[in-house]
C-alpha cells in the first residue's frame, strides 16, 4: 500500500472502514469528485471546536475550509497535499505541523512526496491520511487510515492531545465514510 511506502514508521495510527454497494472505480471517482469531504455540520463543528483555542488566543489559522468541498477542492484549499495516488486503489494525503499545540498548530503545506519525505523542520510532526479501496464482489470496502509521527521530545504533548482529539477525529472519519456510502449508494439506485 502507498501509505506503507510513504510513512512506514509512526507513533499513532487509527483506521476505519465501511462497505459500499458500488464498484471500486465508481467509489474512487466519487471520493475524488462528487462526495463533499466536509459536507456535515458535525464535521465542520468538530473542526471549528478544534480551531477555537487558536482563534481565541492566537489568531490562528483555519485547519479545514468552511465550505463543503469534494476531495479535490479540499486539497486546493486546505493545508493537506496529495502525496500518492494509485488509480481505483488508494489516495494518500499529508501535512506537517505542530498538531499538539492548540494555540499555534502551524500547519505546513507540503508540495509533494519528496518534500514530505525530507521535511525535518524543528518541532514539527508529520501526518498522513489515506483512503484505500478493496473489491469485495459487487461491493467495495473503503477504509481511511491516519498515521502520525512526531519528534520524541513532543511525545507526551502529542499523546495528551490525541487523548482529547482522537475520539473526535474518529467521529469525523466515520461520518465521512458514512456520507460516502450514502451518496454513492443513493446515486446507484
The per-residue pLDDT for range 20-31, each reduced to its tens digit, is 999 999 999 998
The set of residues, in sequence order, having a beta carbon less than 8 Å from that of 145 and lying 6+ positions away, is 3, 13, 14, 15, 16, 129, 130, 132
> Residue 64 — pLDDT band, cuts 50, 70, 90?
low
Mean per-residue pLDDT, 106-117: 91
Residue 66 has pLDDT above 70, yes or no: no
Domain of 78, CATH number, reads 3.30.530
Q: Angle 118-75-80 (CA atoms, 0-180°, nearest 5)?
A: 35
Selected residue with higher pLDDT from 62 and 182: 182
Q: What does the pLDDT read at residue 77?
A: 78
Chain mean pLDDT for the chain: 87
**pLDDT score at 17:** 98
Count of domains for the chain: 1
The confidence score (pLDDT) of residue 6 equals: 98
Tens of pLDDT along 133-180?
Answer: 999 999 999 999 999 999 999 999 999 989 988 998 899 899 889 988
Parent domain of 54: 2-188
d(CA 132, CA 22): 14
153 DSSP 8-state letter: G
**Are residues 146 and 108 in contact, defined by beta-carbon separation less than 8 angstroms?**
no
Q: What is the pTM of this model?
A: 0.88
Cell triple for 108: 505546513
DSSP characters for 156-189? Answer: HHHHHHHHHHHHHHHHHHHHHHHHHHHHHHHHH-
Amino acid at each position: 500500500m502507498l501509505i506503507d511506502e510513504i510513512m512506514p514508521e509512526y507513533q499513532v495510527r487509527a483506521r476505519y472502514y465501511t462497505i459500499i454497494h458500488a464498484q471500486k472505480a465508481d467509489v474512487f471517482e466519487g471520493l475524488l469528485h462528487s462526495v463533499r469531504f466536509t459536507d456535515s455540520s458535525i464535521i465542520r463543528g468538530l473542526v471549528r471546536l478544534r480551531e477555537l483555542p487558536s482563534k481565541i488566543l492566537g489568531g490562528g489559522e483555519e485547519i479545514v475550509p468552511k465550505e463543503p468541498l469534494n476531495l479535490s477542492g479540499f486539497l486546493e484549499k486546505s493545508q493537506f497535499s496529495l502525496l500518492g495516488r494509485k488509480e481505483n486503489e488508494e489516495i494518500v494525503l499529508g501535512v506537517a505541523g505542530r498538531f499538539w499545540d492548540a494555540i499555534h498548530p502551524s500547519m505546513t503545506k507540503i508540495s509533494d512526496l519528496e518534500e514530505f519525505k525530507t521535511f525535518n523542520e524543528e518541532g514539527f510532526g508529520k501526518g498522513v491520511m489515506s483512503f484505500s479501496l478493496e473489491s469485495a464482489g459487487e461491493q467495495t470496502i473503503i477504509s481511511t487510515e491516519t498515521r502520525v509521527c512526531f519528534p520524541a521530545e513532543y511525545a507526551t504533548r502529542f499523546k495528551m492531545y490525541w487523548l482529547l482529539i482522537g475520539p473526535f477525529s474518529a467521529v469525523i472519519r466515520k461520518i465521512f465514510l458514512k456520507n460516502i456510502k450514502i451518496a454513492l449508494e443513493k446515486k446507484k439506485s
